[in-house]
Amino acid sequence: MKKTKQLNNTSVILPAIGQGMGDYPWDENQISVLREGIDLGMNLIDTAENYDNGNSETIIGKAIKGIREKVIICTKFAPEHNSYNDVLTAVEGSLKRLKTDYIDIYQMHWPNPKIPFKKTMEAMEKLVCQGKIKYIGLSNLYLEQIKEVQKALDKNKIYSFQIEYNFFDRFIENNILPYCEKEKIITIAYSPLDQGRIIPEDNDKLKIFEKIAEKYNKTIAQIALNWLIAHPVVIAIPTANRKYIKENAGAADFEISKEDFNKISDLYNAKPSYIQVDKIEVSAEGQSNRMVYKTIEQAIENKLNFVPSPNDLAQYFKNNLNEEIKPVRLIKGEGDKYQLVEGRVRYWAWVIAHNGEKPITAYIRKKL
Ligand SMILES: NC(=O)c1ccc[n+]([C@@H]2O[C@H](COP(=O)([O-])OP(=O)(O)OC[C@H]3O[C@@H](n4cnc5c(N)ncnc54)[C@H](OP(=O)(O)O)[C@@H]3O)[C@@H](O)[C@H]2O)c1
């Protein structure tokens, strides 16, 4: 029996494990992978208009031909398209590439501080009214922003929230996950396997983990996914990959005991550290987009047009001083130095907001 979750007060049943079609180069070989995943019960597929320049949606469109109603499609529009008119245009592009006339869950991928949520949500509500999208979803927001979006909605509500969640990054457990549980917002965990880095770096921890996996006759990845979906509103979307498709489907057909759930939670309880920003060097390693800002001047200039820009995000941090920010990710370097491998915009925004004087919250790894 595969684990499923109900989309709040609707008749829509979501698989607890779906398929991610993230920003990787895709080709037609992926069609049969997605089909197999759907047959194995992973009939929710996550994508975005800009993943592989639209090719992710195009491949999905081919994979769902003839079985559209069996599949739950979750796509997203880019923050450059958060304005009222741009949302209405972006959806047409997605519908065309997906070769469908409706999207099940349409998600705002990132906030764009230049565009008020009200404007974006007016477009979303119009799309619901037109039947082009069924449910409104969000991604990559802080709690106060989620609440703000909720207030900006007139006739609709937020059905899902997509965010990074895995053993290593448990930031959402502070306040976002409890809020989503209270509001029955499906929480879609992205990078659920920490992009393939879930194996503990510490050998003693690894042994305990292996023992638990052995007990259930499952792999570590399956235990990692099962631990995530043991949380009431959480579903996980590991990237769909021929190598792992059966393994991932097999993560939803068992339940770890409460005792093992707690044991795993304690095993991965890395609390973020606070690191002086001048000890951190911004590295291009680990970023899919290898262009990074090396200096505060470059970050302020924002020549790479990141949305939100470091400056805009800095403003948000200044206005919400009490809100804990998502930790950046560092690797231990020489002496007391660190390399920043994830969270470059967040890092520069923090430096700008606090004039380089306040330590930043960070998860630290030994290696990439
Ligand atoms: N909303 C957002 O901003 C956002 C951001 C990122 C991702 N996402 C979504 O989340 C999905 C998943 O995220 P992700 O790709 O970052 O992370 P992930 O699924 O945690 O990691 C995928 C990587 O983990 C490795 N891996 C190890 N065991 C695996 C297994 N059993 N199944 C699949 N992969 C396994 C694979 O590497 P090897 O092939 O090298 O072994 C693979 O490249 C994406 O496809 C996308 O739809 C959304």
Query: Domain holding 209: CATH number?
Result: 3.20.20.100
pLDDT at 200: 79
Cis peptide bond prior to 238, omega within 30° of 0: no
Cα of 56 from ligand 1 centre, angstroms: 14
- Give the domain extent around 355: 273-365
User: Coil, strand, or helix at residue 184?
Assistant: coil
CA atoms within 13 A on the CB side of 355: 0
Based on the residue annotation, tell me whether 84 is a catalytic residue of this protein: no
* Domain shared by 153 and 190, yes or no: yes
Pocket test for ligand 1, best of 44, 190, 345 (most atoms within 8 A of CB): 190
* Final residue in a domain of this structure, among 215, 248, 267: 267
Q: Is residue 233 located within the same domain as residue 292?
A: no
Q: Which of 267, 293, 324 is the last residue of a domain?
A: 267
The answer to whether residues 224 and 342 belong to one domain is no
How far is CA 77 from each of CA 4, 19, 111, 124, 145, rounded to the nearest angstrom? Answer: 26, 18, 11, 11, 17
The residue out of 251, 267, 283 marking a domain boundary is 267
Q: Give the model's pLDDT for residue 287.
A: 52
Q: How far apart are CA 188 and CA 18, in angstroms?
A: 9
26 shares its domain with 106 = yes
Do residues 340 and 282 make contact, with C-beta atoms less than 8 angstroms apart?
Answer: yes
- Ligand 1 centroid, distance to 37 Cα (angstroms): 15
User: Is residue 285 classed as helix, strand or coil in its secondary structure?
Assistant: coil
- Whether residues 38 and 83 share a domain: the answer is yes
This prediction's pTM? 0.96
Residue 285's pLDDT is 60
Q: Which residues line ligand 1 (CB under 6 A)?
A: 20-22, 46, 139-140, 162, 190-196, 221, 237-239, 241, 244, 247-248
Residue 365: CB atoms within 10 Å: 20
Same domain, 162 and 300: no
**CA 58/CA 141 separation, integer angstroms:** 27
Sequence-ordered list of residues with C-beta below 8 angstroms from that of 312, at least 6 positions apart, any chain:
113, 114, 349
For the chain (368 residues), the mean pLDDT of every run of 10, in chain order, is 94 98 98 98 98 98 98 98 98 98 98 96 98 98 96 97 95 96 98 90 88 97 97 98 98 97 88 95 66 90 93 93 91 92 95 96 88
Q: How many domains does the chain have?
A: 2
Per-residue model confidence (pLDDT) at position 72: 98
Pocket probe mutation, ligand 1, options 191, 326, 329, max atoms within 8 Å of Cβ:
191
Scored b (16 or more CB within 10 A) or e, 255-266 reads ebeeebbebbee
Give the 3-state secondary structure of residue 76.
strand
Q: What's the token pair of residue 33? A: 């992978």
Residue with CA closest to ligand 1 atom 35: 196
